[in-house]
Amino acid sequence: MERRKMKRLTLDDRKFFKSIIKLKPQKKNGYAIFVKDKISYKRSRLLIQLAKRIKLDKNEIVHHKNGDKMDDRLCNLEILTIEEHLSLHRNARKNKEIKG
């Protein structure tokens, strides 16, 4: 996924994401999320966009390499397309390895 060109995060997006991650995280479907104005934001998604200064599209998924969806350390996160992510989990299910 790194090879593909990604959109840059705008200054406004950056400011907005930074304000969101100051909120108290909640747990939903195994993920750490923030809720603002009834909209949920996954912590993993916000953190990777801020760190890499990129804007993810809807078809770009943040995968948790070790299967722990609460483990949002950058070293545990990987950006994949929906297709890449699905095939990864399909293969993983066969091998009963990756869950996140």
User: Which residues of this protein are in contact with Zn ion, per CB under 5 A?
Assistant: 63
Q: How far is the CB of 63 from Zn ion (least distance, A)?
A: 4
Phi, psi of 65 (to 5 degrees): -60, -40
Q: Indicate the residue among 8 and 93 with the shorter CB distance to Zn ion.
A: 93
Q: Measured between alpha carbons, how far is 70 from 42 in angstroms, rounded to an integer?
A: 10
Which CB sits closer to Zn ion, 22 or 94? 94
In the complex, the smallest distance separating the C-beta of residue 95 from Zn ion, rounded to whole angstroms, is: 14
Nearest residue to Zn ion, by Cβ distance, number only: 63
Query: How many other CB atoms are found less than 10 A from the CB of residue 48?
Result: 19
Judged by beta carbon, residue 10 or residue 67, the one nearer Zn ion is 67
Do residues 30 and 70 make contact, with C-beta atoms less than 8 angstroms apart?
A: yes
The distance of closest approach from Cβ of residue 56 to Zn ion in the complex, given in angstroms and rounded to an integer, is: 14
How are strands ordered across the β-sheet holding 39-42? 26-28, 31-36, 39-42
| Closer residue to Zn ion in complex, CB, 26/66 | 66
Cα 24 to its chain centre, rounded Å, is 17
Q: How far is the CB of 64 from Zn ion (least distance, A)?
A: 6
